[in-house]
């Protein structure tokens, strides 16, 4: 398996524009997570899905952020409209429930977003 | 809420030195504990983990022991290499079956030859 695949790797956009980040989890994984990494706040969980259903979106900063998982192999994180303070590295991760035990989360390489 | 506190960085050592990166946590239940490593330009990779008190996680010469009495999970390595230069994150996960991770702030480690 190629691992968790995120696209694009880098995105530069102007303030006010819509930005869509994409993630393909590892096949067979039933949990998908979106994290944001900034110098000021470190790594924060934004939202996670289980079997394509959003379970906890309490980390989503505001209504400008939305995430979807239309099927088991694809998820998007959308920011509309984008603002300079959204500049960060966004990571997607996936994992699976194995015999009731916490299993390893596998991370993608991240999308570096710059909003100018 | 749950939280993880790591030793402030950056940390700079010479090759073959002994490494300790301190990590303490606050949690309401009995979390699983993890160390993740992030190499430049890469995503996070699991380095080691421990799921219950007194467990020792180990990988690539790194070790950490789950200490419930001191709520700690310090990372150690006896002899570091230049290739160990990276950012190290301590993390916990409370929810059974889901890797809903709470991360520390990360510690940047640089090893000089």
**A27, burial (CB in 10 Å: exposed 0-12, middle 13-18, buried 19+):** exposed
Closest CA in chain A for residue B39: A109
Tokens, residue B102:
């709470």
Q: Which residues in chain B are closer than 8 Å to A108, comparing Cβ atoms? A: 43
| Structure confidence by residue, pLDDT tens digits, A51-96 | 999 999 999 988 999 999 999 999 999 999 999 999 999 999 998 8
Interface test with A, best of B49, B100, B104 (most A CBs within 10 A): B100
Which DSSP symbol is given to A114?
E
The minimum CA-CA distance between A35 and chain B, rounded to whole Å, is 10
User: Which residues, at least 6 apart from A62, have a Cβ–Cβ distance to it below 8 Å?
Assistant: none
Question: DSSP E strands: which ranges in chain B?
Answer: 3-6, 11-14, 19-21, 23-26, 32-38, 44-50, 56-59, 62-65, 75-77, 86-93, 101-103, 107-112
**Do B103 and A4 lie within an 8 Å CB cutoff?**
no
Q: Does B45 touch chain A (CB under 8 A)?
A: yes
Residues shown for chain A: 116
pLDDT band at A102 (very low <50, low <70, confident <90, very high): low
pLDDT band at B97 (very low <50, low <70, confident <90, very high): low
**Do B89 and A102 lie within an 8 Å CB cutoff?**
no
- Whether residue B6 contacts residue B106, with contact meaning beta carbons closer than 8 Å, is answered with yes
What is residue B38's predicted lDDT score, i.e. its pLDDT?
Answer: 94
Closest CA in chain B for residue A9: B41
User: Which residues, at least 6 apart from A98, have a Cβ–Cβ distance to it below 8 Å?
Assistant: none
Q: Which residues in chain B are closer than 8 Å to A43, comparing Cβ atoms? A: 44, 89, 101, 103, 106
Closest CA in chain A for residue B87: A42
The minimum CA-CA distance between B17 and chain A, rounded to whole Å, is 27
pLDDT band at B96 (very low <50, low <70, confident <90, very high): low
User: Distance between CA B101 and CA B93 in Å, rounded?
Assistant: 5
Closest CA in chain B for residue A110: B43
User: Distance between CA B65 and CA B63 in Å, rounded?
Assistant: 7
**Do A102 and B93 lie within an 8 Å CB cutoff?**
yes
> Is 80 exceeded by the pLDDT of residue B99?
no
Return mean pLDDT, chain B: 92
């Amino acid at each position: 398996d190629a691992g968790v695949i995120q696209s694009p790797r880098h995105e530069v956009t102007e303030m006010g524009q819509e930005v869509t980040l994409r993630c393909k989890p590892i096949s067979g994984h039933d949990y998908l997570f979106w994290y944001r990494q900034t110098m000021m706040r470190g790594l924060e969980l934004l939202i996670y899905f289980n079997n394509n259903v959003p379970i906890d979106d309490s980390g989503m900063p505001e209504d400008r952020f939305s995430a979807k998982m239309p099927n088991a192999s694809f998820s998007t994180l959308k920011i509309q409209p984008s603002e300079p303070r959204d500049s960060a590295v966004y990571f997607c991760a996936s994992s699976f429930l194995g015999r009731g035990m916490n299993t390893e989360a596998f991370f993608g390489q991240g999308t570096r977003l710059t909003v100018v | 809420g749950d939280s993880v506190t790591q030793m402030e960085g950056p940390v700079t050592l010479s090759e073959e030195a002994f490494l300790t990166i301190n990590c303490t946590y606050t949690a309401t239940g009995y979390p699983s504990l993890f160390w993740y490593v992030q190499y430049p330009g890469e995503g996070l990779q699991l380095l080691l983990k421990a799921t219950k008190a007194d467990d020792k996680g180990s990988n690539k010469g790194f070790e950490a022991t789950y200490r419930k009495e001191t709520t700690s999970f310090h990372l150690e390595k006896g002899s570091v290499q230049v290739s160990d230069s990276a950012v190290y994150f301590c993390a916990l996960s409370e929810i059974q079956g889901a890797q809903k991770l709470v991360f520390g702030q990360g510690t940047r480690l640089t090893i000089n030859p």
